[in-house]
Amino acid sequence: MARKFLYLIAILIVLAFAALIVLRIWSQELTAFVFVPDVEFVEQEPLEANAYQDPAMWYSRPGIGVTDPARWQPALVQALEQGSEGEEETATSRPVDPKREELGIHGDVPEFAVFFIHPTSYLSSDSWNAPIGDEEAERIARIYVRGMASAFNAADEIWAPRYRQATMGAFLTDAAEGESALDAAYADVLEAFRFFLDSIDADMPIVLAGHSQGSVHLLRLLQEEVQEKGLEERIVASYAIGWPISVEHDLPALGVPACATAAQTGCVISWSSYAEPADPSPVIDTYSASIGFGGEPRGGSQILCTNPLLGTFGGTAEASANLGTLVPDDSMSNGELVPGSVPARCDERGLLMIGDPPEMGSYVLPGNNYHVYDIPLFWANTKADVARRVSAFADDQEGED
């Protein structure tokens, strides 16, 4: 019996190694098989006129109150001072809101509004676009808004729409249905953005923000709505996080420069986070084969990398410059700010290296890709960066008057 048991264990080990080899070689193919819909694309009916007048079409907007996920404020882990006998206390998490000074925010931040587009939360292969009201997609989207849009909550108004997002599988295929799904999702985002513009004060400065699929739609807004309607003078900055942007083949067509300095306005900010050792080959291969906004292949062109600890184009910063990483709990719906734990370095390709893998949870992608945590890794610095640019924008406006 013991010998049979050992044979069974040996067989299981061989099968496990075989599975790992299959996953390593064909992981992208298997992922596509699971997530890419095998159903026909169905044209999305246009939303009803003024659909975004309904508060239920927004995860975040003025008037929602304490249940607004973007208004969530995490507690800050603070180190206790040395005890009376000289013994150093360990860090403790106390339920206090971070002080403005601890976030690098000094003085009053002028009024501004944020339009935030959440990343992909619909993972089903049942359809190419998420139906409004899908329970699981809505649950995940709320978590994303809570953990990401909250970094922008120094704003007087935050608007984060529901939209019929493209399913994750749309990004894993070259089929025309994937592009059609993104077009359908963008149509909803565009309607929401236009309602947002009609709802805020005509002279209120605007911060645009998104992550992943949200950044895809944000960049299209910059091209097709902001430029065409001459809204550039109202845009403080555009935070298109978690999506590769070519410095050479995308930025000129966007008509918006990269943010070169920490107080520059009217510019684009972006980064994609990897721990080391990093294997970004799936992302780099797809990026290299894609066509830029200017109509040329992106190839090996440099990816825009804003160092979120510095607020500059490129650069290296030690972990001590990190004002607070939002470390989530197991549910991803709560967390606390831990200062000084994650560094940031833009490498020669334009990827953001964050050193040894930090403990952030179980959603790290293959290759040490911290895509899901792009904003939480630098939550407090992002909040300070927004406040700094809004203040600079207000100063510039006063100087022109």
Residue 115 three-state SS = strand
What are 132-136's contacts with CB under 8 Å, separation 24+?
A: 132/57, 132/162, 132/164
Cα separation of the two ends of the chain:
89
- Measured CA to CA, the distance from residue 214 to residue 243 in angstroms comes to 9
Residue keyed to tokens 């994937």: 178
Closest CA to 326 of 336, 316, 312: 336
Low-confidence ranges of the chain (pLDDT < 70): 1-34, 78-107, 401
pLDDT of 177 reads 94
- Measured CA to CA, the distance from residue 268 to residue 377 in angstroms comes to 19
* 213-221 helix and 176-199 helix, angle to the nearest 10 degrees: 60
pLDDT of 332 reads 78
Q: Quick: pLDDT tens for 113-160.
A: 999 999 999 999 999 999 999 999 999 999 999 999 999 999 999 999
Domain range annotation of the chain: 37-64+75-80+91-400
- Phi/psi region, residue 356 (left: phi>0; alpha: psi -120 to 50; beta: rest), is beta
Single pTM value for the model: 0.87
What are 179-185's contacts with CB under 8 Å, separation 24+?
A: 180/41, 180/43, 180/128, 181/41, 181/128, 181/129, 182/213, 182/216, 182/217, 184/43, 184/44, 184/128, 184/129, 185/129, 185/213, 185/217
CA-based torsion, 241, 32, 279, 284: positive or negative: negative
What are 100-104's contacts with CB under 8 Å, separation 24+?
A: 102/76, 102/323, 102/324, 102/339, 102/380, 103/323, 103/324, 103/380, 103/383, 103/384, 103/387, 104/323, 104/380, 104/381, 104/384, 104/387, 104/388
pLDDT of 331 reads 79
- Measured CA to CA, the distance from residue 297 to residue 307 in angstroms comes to 25
pLDDT of 18 reads 42
Check residue 258 and report its DSSP letter: B
pLDDT of 4 reads 45
pLDDT of 19 reads 39
